[in-house]
Amino acid sequence: MIKTIAAPREKKVEGCGECRSTCQSACKTSCTVGNQSCERITREQSPEKNK
């Protein structure tokens, strides 16, 4: 039995370039892009971050 756990909500290919610098995160030595969030969506969901 194969059960889908998670799948991308949309196929986002092109980048807006607004994402945060990977190296400004927690690690400084083993940066992981895949655990970042999309900055554009984050800011759309939290408008105060645009101010």
Q: Say how many residues touch another protein, by CB under 8 A.
A: 41
The least CB distance from residue 18 to another protein, in Å, is 7
Tokens of 16: 């807006």
Question: Are 39 and 15 a contacting pair, CB within 8 Å?
Answer: no
Is 47 one of the binding residues for another protein (CB under 8 A)? Answer: no
- Report how far residue 8's alpha carbon sits from residue 49's, in angstroms, rounded to the nearest whole number: 24
The least CB distance from residue 46 to another protein, in Å, is 11
Site residues for another protein per CB under 8 A: 1-9, 11-39, 41, 50-51
